[in-house]
Amino acid sequence: MSKYGELINAARKPENQKTRKLKSEEETPEEGVNLSIKVPKSRRQHWAAEAKRQGTTLTAAITEALSAKFGEPR
């Protein structure tokens, strides 16, 4: 069998297939809202560049920092 045939057959096996969740089983994400703060432009540019270098976003970094400082809602 060709190498592509083996890959296709392996992909068709049930253990490699993802199971579909019912809509009632899926978690619905909470609606996102804006959080505005004023910071110096130079800091924002620096933070944006550093986040991009580290493969993350400012949103993720800010969310992580706020969660660490204040915790998560109950």
Comparing 13-17, 32-36, 63-67, 70-74, the range with the smallest average pLDDT is 13-17
Annotated domain spans of the chain: 39-74
Q: How far apart are CA 53 and CA 63, in angstroms?
A: 18
Given a cut of 70, whether residue 67 has pLDDT beyond it is: yes
Q: Quick check: 29 pLDDT over 90?
A: no
Query: Is the model more confident about 20 or about 54?
Result: 54
Q: What is the pTM of this model?
A: 0.57
Instruction: Please answer whether residues 51 and 58 qualify as being in contact, where contact means their C-beta atoms are separated by less than 8 angstroms.
Output: yes
DSSP secondary structure, 10-46, as one string:
HHHSGGGSPPPPPTTTSPPPPPP--------HHHHHH
- pLDDT at 21 (0 to 100): 60
- Put residue 30 in one of left, alpha, beta given phi > 0 → left and psi -120 to 50 → alpha: beta
For residues 50 and 42, the answer to whether their CB atoms sit within 8 Å is no
Examine the pLDDT at 33 and tell me if it is beyond 70: yes
